Amino acid sequence: MEIDLILKITGLGILVGIIHSLLNKFGKEEYAFIVTVVGLIVAFSMVVSLISKLFENLKVIFRL
């Protein structure tokens, strides 16, 4: 398995968390929200190919 990807997403998560709390602390809640959403999108774009692969495999396994 690609352990690199998991580590990368973990790092991204920690970073987004820090930025979120930092922006919240300085009273910029709307930017904090945007940063969280952007982080989510980036993380999704990293795993979307893996998820599609998972569904393909499910289809094959259950003969759907």
Partner 1 sequence: MLILKTLSLAIIFITCAILGYCYGQRFTLRYENLVSLEQCIKILETEIVYGATPLPTALSNVYKKGNPRVSYIFEKIKDDLLEKKRSFVFESFLEIEDELYGKMNLKKEDVEIMLSLGRVLGSSDRHDQSKVFKIVLNQIEAQIEDAKIEKNKNEKLYRNLGVLAGIGLIILLV
**Both tokens of residue 43?**
């993380």
* Least distance in angstroms from the C-beta of 53 to partner 1: 22
**Both tokens of residue 7?**
């580590």
* Least distance in angstroms from the C-beta of 54 to partner 1: 23
Which one, of 36, 15, 52, lies nearest residue 7 by Cα?
Answer: 15
Does 28 bind partner 1 (CB under 8 A)? Our answer is yes
CB 57 within 8 A of CB 51: no
Does 11 bind partner 1 (CB under 8 A)? Our answer is yes
Nearer to partner 1, 41 or 58 (CB): 41
